[in-house]
Amino acid sequence: MIKNGVSVSHLIKAPFDPADVVTTDRLNAYMDEGRPMLNNYTRHAKIGEGQHGEVYLCYQVNPRYPQGHPARRVPVAMKSVKRDNPRAKQFRQLRQQRLPTSPHTPLVDRLSTIEAKIRKEIAIMKKCRHPHVVRLYEIIDDRSRDKIYMVMEYLAGGEVKWKNENDEPILSVGQTRRIIRDAVLGLEYLHHQGIIHRDIKPANLLWTEDRRQVKIADFGVSHFSYAQRLAAAGEDGAVENPEDPILLDDSDLTRRAGTPSFLAPEIVFEHTKEPSLSLRDVPAAASSSLAHGASSQSVPSMQRPPVTKSIDIWALGVTLYCLLFGRTPFVADPAAAGTEWSLYNSICNQDWNIPEAMGSDRLPTEGRHPIGETSEGTQVVRLLELLLKKDVKARITLDQIKRHKWILGDLAEPDKWLQLTMPRGKINVSLDETSDAMSSVHFRWNWGVVSRRISSLFRRSRDHHHHHHHQHDTGDRGPVRSDPHVRIRRHQSARVGSTPYSASTSASASASASASAAYTAKRDINKGKRRADVRALKMGGLGASKSLRSKSIERWPVSGRGDPASRSTSAIMEAAPDKKRRGSVTLLVGGDRNNRGRDRTGRFATVSGPSSSAITTTTSTTTTTTTTTTGGAGAGDHKPKTRFANLFNFNSITHWRPNKFASSSSSASASAGASPIDGPSSSSASSDRDRDRTPGPVRRASRRSEEALRSHRHRGPGPAQCPNAPLTVDRRASSWGQGDQPMEFAEAVSLAASSSYEYHDHEREREREREGGPRGSGGIYVYADRDRDRDRDRDRDRDRDRERERERERAFAPRTPSRLSTNVATASPTSGSGSQGDEDEDEDEDGEERRRFGPPCFDEDSSTIASAVGDWQNGSGSEEDEDGFGDEDEDEDEDDGDGAAESAEGGVAEDDSDDDDGDEDQEENVVTFSPRRHPRAID
């Protein structure tokens, strides 16, 4: 009956989770032996601090392994971000001042922008699984806590540092090349997935501990474009025209996000005061195509060039320049009144120049406009020229970069490298993947509301059901997901509604209208604040160019065409992420609330008991159940409402999950539990001492995290963690500089199979090398022994073909909801080993496939929606400030495990309650760590 109530089981089709990210909706924070524990993670030193959060080195404790086993303690990076922010508080204050509110207030108004931001970051990271992209393993999202935690692969080598105190380059040209090559591969993968990173810079490239490779990190401002994904998924070479409006909906992209010195001209286009170089250095025909329509051509400089994934390529060019020369190519005029504006003007209108030598090895560059093509310096300058093309259409593509002479310069077998790294095959884009990255949120139901909604729920469900079937029968899966053209149209119509969040549904058209009105009203009010910000900005200036070089700016733009300065202040209302509110929502219910899984480490699992059912409610078109649902939650005295809830045994409702979890949760859990082991453990080797062996200049360029780690010594087992380990091929081959000759860099396999790269297994690779196998380069394993090479290639091709075939079959195979695992088993040490015991037949195969990333899934911000619903269901605003990590100002650098201090600091009370939700004001709870609450968690 429950299933019939929504009757959309045919939409559950995501065959497996490409990234195996576990979402845990319970957080247990406590002290254990003087050290803070969060679920099964022990917290150690703080390794970084970003704009909104902190990153800690943590160890995942896997009690199933005996003491001393390498897998018992697996290092991970845990980023914690506070949900709330000052601006969210301003909102609350505004609401308290009788700001017009509506039960259909747009979702974003109800979420802090930071929360929206991190949810977007999470949704994007969930898609990523590639050797050159930092992996996300787990989200701990307990709505009763004031922070969200992201458990990530730990990159012990830290940020790529590129200059010393004297602004001289510290990396050799060879190292730079390998870094860039890694970044290119990571970027290529991201773009293929429809993700534009938007903040490529050296600081967002993190070294593995052995410094054999770098990985792209920090997706805080990344953009996901479904249209681009479709484009990438098309036939080879198809739809490469960045101007095509189908390709990118740049409403989000044109927002100035990223780091000023790395911003592409098309992003800071408004800052040009004269016809930009882009229009001068481009042939007439091309330049005219920058503008649309005759009137546009008459004032070409006023037209914003298309903003595409090419902004990442520009940023890569700036990165290359930085690594080679120890400074950025474009700088603000110190004499200029507005530093930021001056920088942007330089980016848009000025050429760059270069010193005479590049790299720490000081290779000659032969000047800005060299003659000939033979020398390395010349090649590099030529590449820079192509990367830093102000005209986006003339800018080099990633594929071309990979084929560039200099990039291939040190590879013994460039063709093989190209072949192995080619993202081949068509991505299988499931049109119903919208919900797939939805965060798991547990509900606390309000019974009164729930019962009131029952009848309307069924009514709506019936309608919806009918509608849906109609769509399905006609084979029309709906405009949003099946056809990018239509999607754009939908989006445009949403804009007409004066709110970017009015991508609403037929079912909630009126809701949307009022949401629109509320949104507009709030925005107007907020403008006052923004103007004040602008004034302050004008008075205070924009800071030194140093900060412009390094700091990511607040990433949300200001719309309109005000003066340049005004754009540097972000409007909260416009700060929201993309607002596609469509897709399906899966609600998991368990037969017994108490049956919620809890694994042996004491961590609560996300999924409820084995009797759980997965029910997906969805719309097949622009109709958005989530929008309707979220829109229905009142900002005033309205209590949260969701029609999904009413379908079930309310006692058992615990949380939402994406339908993909419903179909594969148990094995996903198993492999996800193990995934941190695969990743970080292989590169987890401690190596403060190893690091000390690195050449002088590099050592000086320690990052904050390394400083923080100085007092922290890994003592874990494992060959790579042995400080006395001999200088291995790996280490010799590291981009860090030793043995810095061609063919002297060992690396990972990152196979580009159809719709997937194979996740690199460092250990396997090391074994091969120990066996005397040949070495790879730039993150790609390339065999030197041609015979063996051929044999292995043949085997691999065969395997890959088989795998590809299987994936193709599975990608579109209809799938019924599987039973759910009781146990998310995040601490499971086995990789996809099917240790759950109650898996589907398919799941063994899934386990195998899960080691690769599968067809990408599309979700945009569905997680935000889900979370918001959960928030309302929680009665919202009564978030406790419990936090196992304590607060920002706690001093963790010395890794002193001072839990008592943390407890005290973590308890700084703030009035965070949301009056609009009709809740009582509550002081946030003081965290109390009870040392023995879970004594068995460690041992």
Ligand X SMILES: Nc1ncnc2c1ncn2[C@@H]1O[C@H](COP(=O)(O)OP(=O)(O)OP(=O)(O)O)[C@@H](O)[C@H]1O
Active site residues: 199
From the CB of 555, what's the least distance to ligand X, in Å? Answer: 8
CA distances from 495 to 266, 483, 491, 631, 896 (A): 22, 19, 6, 17, 52
Residue (11 or 45) nearer to ligand X, CB: 45
- SS3 (DSSP) at 297: helix
Decide if 583 contacts 434 (C-beta within 8 A). Answer: yes
55, 548, 585, 782: residue in contact with ligand X (rule CB under 6 A)? 55
Structure tokens of 16? 């497996």
Residue (204 or 303) nearer to ligand X, CB: 204
Binding to ligand X in span 70-89, by CB under 6 A: 77, 79
- Residue 128 makes contact with ligand X by CB under 6 A: no
How many angstroms separate the CA atoms of 14 and 432, rounded? 8
| Paired residues of 46 in beta bridges | 56
Structure tokens of 285? 């025909």
How many angstroms separate the CA atoms of 491 and 493, rounded? 5
From the CB of 44, what's the least distance to ligand X, in Å? Answer: 12
416 has binding-site annotation: no
- Residue 571 makes contact with ligand X by CB under 6 A: no
- Residue 202 makes contact with ligand X by CB under 6 A: no
Contact range with ligand X by CB under 6 A, out of 11-19, 47-55, 568-576, 712-720: 47-55
Decide if 96 contacts 915 (C-beta within 8 A). Answer: yes
79 has binding-site annotation: yes
Binding to ligand X in span 470-529, by CB under 6 A: none
Structure tokens of 857? 């899934």
Contact range with ligand X by CB under 6 A, out of 42-50, 389-397, 454-462, 658-666: 42-50
Decide if 151 contacts 41 (C-beta within 8 A). Answer: yes
From the CB of 206, what's the least distance to ligand X, in Å? Answer: 6
Contact range with ligand X by CB under 6 A, out of 45-53, 136-144, 528-536, 625-633: 45-53
From the CB of 32, what's the least distance to ligand X, in Å? Answer: 23
Decide if 559 contacts 575 (C-beta within 8 A). Answer: no
58, 155, 257, 517: residue in contact with ligand X (rule CB under 6 A)? 155
Q: Between 705 and 734, how does the x/- string for binding to ligand X read (CB under 6 A)?
A: x-----------------------------
Binding to ligand X in span 317-346, by CB under 6 A: none
- SS3 (DSSP) at 642: coil
- Residue 151 makes contact with ligand X by CB under 6 A: no
Residue (134 or 811) nearer to ligand X, CB: 134
- 56-91 per-residue burial string, b: 16 or more CB within 10 A, e: under 16: bbbbbbbbbbeeeebbbbbbbbbbbbbbbbebbeeb
From the CB of 154, what's the least distance to ligand X, in Å? Answer: 5
Residue showing the smallest CB distance to ligand X in the complex: 50
Report the 10 Å Cβ neighbour count for 909: 12
CA distances from 392 to 185, 533, 686 (A): 20, 32, 43
Binding to ligand X in span 206-265, by CB under 6 A: 206, 217-218, 220
Residue (446 or 552) nearer to ligand X, CB: 552
How many angstroms separate the CA atoms of 229 and 516, rounded? 29
Closest by CA position to 660, among listed 872, 865, 863, 423: 863
Closest by CA position to 428, among listed 185, 222, 229: 229
From the CB of 550, what's the least distance to ligand X, in Å? Answer: 8
How many angstroms separate the CA atoms of 36 and 27, rounded? 12
- Residue 682 makes contact with ligand X by CB under 6 A: no
8, 22, 38, 47: residue in contact with ligand X (rule CB under 6 A)? 47
From the CB of 701, what's the least distance to ligand X, in Å? Answer: 13
Residues binding ligand X: number (CB under 6 A): 25
Binding to ligand X in span 275-294, by CB under 6 A: none
Please report how the helices 226-233 and 484-496 are oriented relative to each other, as an axis angle in degrees rounded to 10. 170
From the CB of 150, what's the least distance to ligand X, in Å? Answer: 9
What is the amino acid identity at position 851? R
Contact range with ligand X by CB under 6 A, out of 153-161, 513-521, 623-631, 638-646: 153-161
From the CB of 666, what's the least distance to ligand X, in Å? Answer: 27
Contact range with ligand X by CB under 6 A, out of 152-160, 480-488, 688-696, 866-874: 152-160
Tokens 């001056």, residue?
342
- Residue 113 makes contact with ligand X by CB under 6 A: no
How many angstroms separate the CA atoms of 323 and 316, rounded? 10
Q: Between 805 and 844, how does the x/- string for binding to ligand X read (CB under 6 A)?
A: ----------------------------------------
2, 33, 34, 50: residue in contact with ligand X (rule CB under 6 A)? 50
- Residue 783 makes contact with ligand X by CB under 6 A: no
How many angstroms separate the CA atoms of 457 and 910, rounded? 37
How many angstroms separate the CA atoms of 817 and 842, rounded? 12
- Residue 543 makes contact with ligand X by CB under 6 A: no
Q: Between 732 and 761, how does the x/- string for binding to ligand X read (CB under 6 A)?
A: ------------------------------
CA distances from 344 to 313, 626, 674, 849 (A): 17, 40, 45, 46
Q: For residue 645, give every residue at least 6 positions away whose Cβ sits within 8 Å of its Cβ, in sequence order, or none.
A: 443, 445, 450, 453, 457, 587, 653, 873
Residue (206 or 381) nearer to ligand X, CB: 206
- SS3 (DSSP) at 507: coil
153, 883, 887, 902: residue in contact with ligand X (rule CB under 6 A)? 153
228, 552, 624, 630: residue in contact with ligand X (rule CB under 6 A)? 552
Strands 214-216, 205-207: parallel, antiparallel or unpaired by DSSP? antiparallel
What is the amino acid identity at position 608? S
From the CB of 309, what's the least distance to ligand X, in Å? Answer: 19
41, 56, 91, 154: residue in contact with ligand X (rule CB under 6 A)? 154
- Residue 679 makes contact with ligand X by CB under 6 A: no
Residue (104 or 555) nearer to ligand X, CB: 555
Residue (54 or 483) nearer to ligand X, CB: 54
Phi–psi pair at 911, nearest 5 degrees: -85, 100
Binding annotation for ATP: 79, 218
Binding annotation: 79, 218
Which residues of the shown chain bind ligand X in the complex (CB under 6 A)?
A: 47-53, 55, 77, 79, 134, 152-155, 158-159, 203, 206, 217-218, 220, 551-552, 705
